[in-house]
Amino acid sequence: MHKVIRSDNVKSAIQARGWTQKDLAAQLGVTGQAVTNWMKGTDFPRPDKLLKLAAALKLGFADLVQLPQDAQPVVAFRKKAGAKTKDEHVIKAMAMGALLKALVPFLSAVPQLRRQLPDPSTEYAAIQDVVTQVRKNLGLGEGGVEHYEQLLSEFAENGAVVVPVMWGALQNHKNALHILLPQERVTFIFLNLDTHLEDFKFWMAHELAHVFTPQLAGKDEGEDFADAFAGALLFPRELARTVYSQVAGQPRAHEAAVLQAFAHEHGISLNTVFQQVNGFAQSQGLPLLKHAEIDIHKMRNSQRGKLVSETLFAPLPPSPSAYLAAAERQFHSDFFQALRRMVQAKQTGAGYVQQVMDIPMQDALALHGELAR
C-alpha cells in the first residue's frame, strides 16, 4: 500500500509554530521541493528524515503517516539493559516497517497455518504447560538442550523472517527488533549478532514468543510474557527441579558451581538458570537459592564469553559475501535473497538497504554491491 504523509496534520503543526514549508525544510536539512513532494504525496521521507520531521513537529507515527490501522506496522524491542524505548525509536522502527512492505512480494511463500497462543499468561503453571507443548513439538524432552536450529525452524514455520544484523555491542539501543506487518501477515525479526553467546538464545526465544502472540505485539504485557516464555522454554520446570535437588542444603560455593555447570551445558546465561530455579522454588513454597540476583550478575559479568559475531566471522568486520552467506547458511534467512531479487528486478538503490536495515550508508553500499551482482 502506498504510504503518504498526513499533510493536513503537518500543515497545522507548521502553522502552529509560525513556520512556512521553507522553514521546515531548513529545520530538516532538505530542500523545499522535498517537503513539497512529501505534502503532495509524490514522495515519502526516509526514516531519518521522518524521525526529524516527527521531532520538529512533535507528531507521532500515526499522526504523520497515512495508513489504515490494520496496515500499520507493530513493533517491539528487546532492549539492552538500562536502555529506554523513546518515541524516536518507535517512529524509526515504524518507518522501517512501512518500507519493508515493498519487500514482501519478493519473499518466498510464507506459511499461512501458524502456531498461536490464544490466552497467554505469565502464571507459572500456565507458562510451563505452554513450553512443554512447544518443546514436544520441537522433539525435545523435558531436559533436552534447546539448539539455535530448532528456534530458527520455528521462526520459518510461523511466517517470521530472521534478519541477522551487526548493530554494535554498545552503540545501539536494541538487541532485537520485532516488526509485524499485520496486513501482509509477515514478521521481521532483527537479531543483533554483536551480543554475547549466552544471551543470544534467550533473545531468540523471546522473539519467538512474540511470533506466537501477535495479539500482544507492542504491549507491555507482551514483553512480560516473552521474557517468561523464553526463560521457561530454555530451562523448564524439570530442569529447575533437578538443579534445586542438587543444591538444596549445600554451601553457596556448591550452589554457584551447579548453576554455572547447567548454564554452560545448555548454552544460556547464568541468570536464566538462576531465575528459573528460583521460580520453581517459589511455585513449590520452597526456600529460594542462597545467592541474590546481584551476586549472579557479578559472576556473569566476570565470565562474559565471545560475541556471536566473533564466533561467526574472523576477522571482523566480515566481507559482504561472507555476511550474506552466514545469513543464509546459519540463520536460514530468506531476507537477503528477497532483497537481492528486489534490487535486481527494480534497480532498488543502496538507500533502501540502509533504511530497512538501520545500518551506516557505507555498509549499505557494500552490501548493495554484492546483492546487485
Mean local confidence (pLDDT), 308-335: 93
Contact at 8 Å (CB) between 265 and 239? no
What cell was used for 1? 500500500
Is residue 265 scored above 90 in pLDDT? yes
pLDDT for position 139 = 86
Mean local confidence (pLDDT), 293-321: 90
Does residue 170 or residue 115 have the better pLDDT?
115
Is residue 340 scored above 90 in pLDDT? yes
Q: What share of the chain is helix, strand, coil (3-state, %, to 5)?
A: 60, 10, 30
Domain boundaries, the chain: 1-66, 67-234+303-373, 237-302
Residue 52 φ/ψ, nearest 5 degrees: -65, -40
Residue-wise pLDDT tens digits, 79-125: 544 444 456 778 888 888 988 999 999 999 877 667 888 889 999 99
Any idea what the Cα angle at residue 99 is, between residues 95 and 105, rounded to 5°?
A: 150
Sign for the pseudo-dihedral over CA of 234, 274, 118, 211: negative
pLDDT for position 1 = 47
Mean local confidence (pLDDT), 20-26: 92
pLDDT for position 141 = 80
Contact at 8 Å (CB) between 75 and 178? yes
**Least confident range of 66-75, 192-201, 293-302, 360-369:** 66-75
d(CA 30, CA 232): 49
- Other beta carbons within 10 angstroms of residue 370's beta carbon come to 16
Mean local confidence (pLDDT), 42-60: 83
Mean local confidence (pLDDT), 175-196: 90
Mean pLDDT of all residues belonging to the chain? 88
Q: Tell me the pLDDT band of 331, cut-offs 50, 70 and 90.
A: very high
- Other beta carbons within 10 angstroms of residue 23's beta carbon come to 15
pLDDT for position 74 = 87
Please give the distance of CA 57 from its chain centroid, rounded to a whole number: 28
Q: What percentage of residues in the chain have a pLDDT greater than 70?
A: 93
Helices 21-28 and 47-57 cross at an angle (nearest 10°) of 120
Contact at 8 Å (CB) between 317 and 193? no
Q: Tell me the pLDDT band of 171, cut-offs 50, 70 and 90.
A: low
pLDDT for position 80 = 45
Among 192, 201, 194, which Cα is nearest to 165's? 192
The most confident of 3-17, 55-69, 107-121, 168-182, by mean pLDDT: 3-17
pLDDT for position 88 = 74
Is residue 343 scored above 90 in pLDDT? yes
What cell was used for 219? 504491549
Q: Tell me the pLDDT band of 36, cut-offs 50, 70 and 90.
A: very high
Is CATH 2.40.50.100 the right assignment for the domain spanning 1-66? no
Helices 361-371 and 320-329 cross at an angle (nearest 10°) of 70
Residue-wise pLDDT tens digits, 123-157: 999 999 999 999 998 888 888 888 888 898 889 88
pLDDT for position 113 = 60
